[in-house]
Structure 1
């Protein structure tokens, strides 16, 4: 009877542990991705759902707002390698407590293994090939609207070959008996005997998604597409976004800047014009008052899309330059201008670069 009670108590404790490990939200289900999804798949799923569930598109919808918050929490965890590792081991509950490391069952029962097998043995660190980082030239138009770019990758791949080779070499401590009651520990290199392989280059087509709002210097990773390691795992291949200079626009964060040159007539009497944006749509500009050289106009929502939330866009700043007429005016024209402008002669000398110091 006592053994039955003990067994029931043990079963109940195991059940509590399992509940603790798997409690919380299913972040993979929230994002609609598999548990082996790559980082770019997670980002793409988040961006798509964020547009659909954003509060600006669902005013007053509490369910959509709750799902949007869950979506943000899921993305925060699964887009971070360390947090994702903890979540995969211990569920959402483990994130608040931190990674306790190892198997939750072994941490409950200690190094002595109730389920059989030795405890306390750690796996040897798996060797890894080098990472490759390559620049990827991207236009500002692509960073505004998004695009897919195909890149051909010639990657060395291990193929079976004749014979065997020494592999997984490591340094181990070996104990030798020198005599009765005398022992000596020495370091020795120990290797396994593995089938031989040869590295053969293979062509592979990689598709890179240029996501709207990506920034200069941002990296796009391809896991396990880097340098191979004959005894371990390949490194990663990372493409670094290199934003190309643009003829009309300058980007600073999520804001865009451009300059427009207008005639003196337009500067004095006002004007209307359209500026073609990066995706082809027109930004309408109206000035019905005097425009002075260096005047700046701000157009909200006409900047770059924010990478984390494409529903939010930066601002477009337009600076105006004045094209003054060439040549000379007649005395009659000068008199007419003085009457029209109704402005006295004025000349002020000052340090324009440090004007605020003397204001």
Structure 2
């Protein structure tokens, strides 16, 4: 009885230790039997939401970002995950390196989205996507956030890239016994036998086979899906400029890094203004009397303000006047280019004889 008592105490202690600390599965909102693909997808989504750069001054978001990084580092490492499942966060802290194994949570984010580190640069990479965004000159003047829906290949959210209907449907290949290859012998001559390896035809070198394929993706592991992105167009951006979302192109179920999506700014022609670099040009028509005696005109700027053009005396046909600071925004609107106004004189279709004789 005493021995049984101590066994119960030890088991209770282990359960209490495992229950203590943070629930990494809950932090990433994944089940305890989640696959690595499912964990990566959850981290990818949540880390972008809680990244400190998107939440300046929000300590709660920063703490959440750190928790996500710790959870991702543990649950994608087979040894750490096994210890965590048995003994919880305290069990990890007993090991060298602590819970997450990363001194800086931005290291994981950089490796996941920006490449580099721990050999990730050697992984295969999918192709980039180039998409044009039609933008008006007014939108480039003001700056704007636009929602863009992108059709792309995504990892199946039913099987999480396994291709199987359930996790129990992924079993060890009975042909190669999980090795991924088969060993054959070839008789070369008397007492001469050569062994060689060949990829298993049954599992195609995976070591695993699927008994029942996923009913959503039909075992393809991926499907077509639409994802909505919010693209921030800064004030003063130019035609042809590129906004890049790293690792947001087609997704893959295995160790293939998604390529980048490049959103290319396509500026639409304006009915009155012409853009030249950071400057704007416009043509303003005046009649002959105004060209000789002077005038005062108002033109509407791209933000709806009126700009007053006022001249006295003679205005030559084709004269270009500079209006300082009324061009396109520069450096997110901290300064601006100039507006150049070219005057076109409209001559009368006829002149009375009295006027000619009077001159």
Q: What interval of TM-score do these two structures reach, taking the shorter chain for normalisation?
A: 0.5 to 0.7
Tell me the equivalent position of 1:250.
274
CA distance in 2, matches of 1:286, 1:131: 52
Alignment check: 8 A CA contact 2:141 2:236 kept: yes
> How does the TM-score come out when normalised to structure 2?
0.52
* 1:155-174 → structure 2 map (5 Å cutoff): 155-159=152-156, 160=159, 161-162=163-164
* 1:29-48 → structure 2 map (5 Å cutoff): none
CA distance in 2, matches of 1:305, 1:43: 23
Q: 1:324 pairs with 347, 353, 356, which one?
A: 347
* 1:250-269 → structure 2 map (5 Å cutoff): 250-269=274-293
Alignment check: 8 A CA contact 2:154 2:250 kept: no
CA distance in 1, matches of 2:138, 2:54: 20
CA distance in 2, matches of 1:324, 1:145: 37
Unaligned stretches of 5+ in structure 2? 1-46, 57-105, 108-115, 172-187, 189-193, 211-218
Kindly indicate whether residue 202 of structure 2 is the aligned counterpart of residue 202 of structure 1.
Answer: no
Tell me the equivalent position of 1:286.
310
CA distance in 2, matches of 1:144, 1:262: 27
Tell me the equivalent position of 1:234.
258
Answer with 290-299 or 195-204: which moved more: 195-204
Summarize deviations over 1:47-68 as a string: whole Å, max 9, x none: xxxxxxxxxxxxxxxxxxxxxx
Tell me the equivalent position of 2:355.
333
Deviation at 1:230, TM superposition (A): 3.6
Instruction: Say how many residue pairs are matched.
Output: 219
* 1:1-359 → structure 2 map (5 Å cutoff): 125-159=122-156, 160=159, 161-162=163-164, 191-193=205-207, 198-231=221-254, 232-306=256-330, 308-330=331-353, 332-337=354-359
CA distance in 1, matches of 2:333, 2:55: 12
User: CA-atom RMSD, angstroms?
Assistant: 4.0
CA distance in 1, matches of 2:197, 2:294: 86
CA distance in 1, matches of 2:52, 2:130: 20
Cα distance, 1:329–1:276 mapped onto 2, change above 3 Å: same
CA distance in 2, matches of 1:271, 1:241: 39
Cα distance, 1:42–1:233 mapped onto 2, change above 3 Å: same
CA distance in 2, matches of 1:256, 1:187: 70
> How does the TM-score come out when normalised to structure 1?
0.52
The secondary structure found in structure 2 opposite 1:335 is: helix
Cα distance, 1:123–1:198 mapped onto 2, change above 3 Å: closer
Deviation at 1:200, TM superposition (A): 2.1
Summarize deviations over 1:80-134 as a string: whole Å, max 9, x none: xxxxxxxx88xxxxxxxxxxx979xxxxxxxxxxxxxxxxxx5671111111001
The secondary structure found in structure 1 opposite 2:326 is: strand
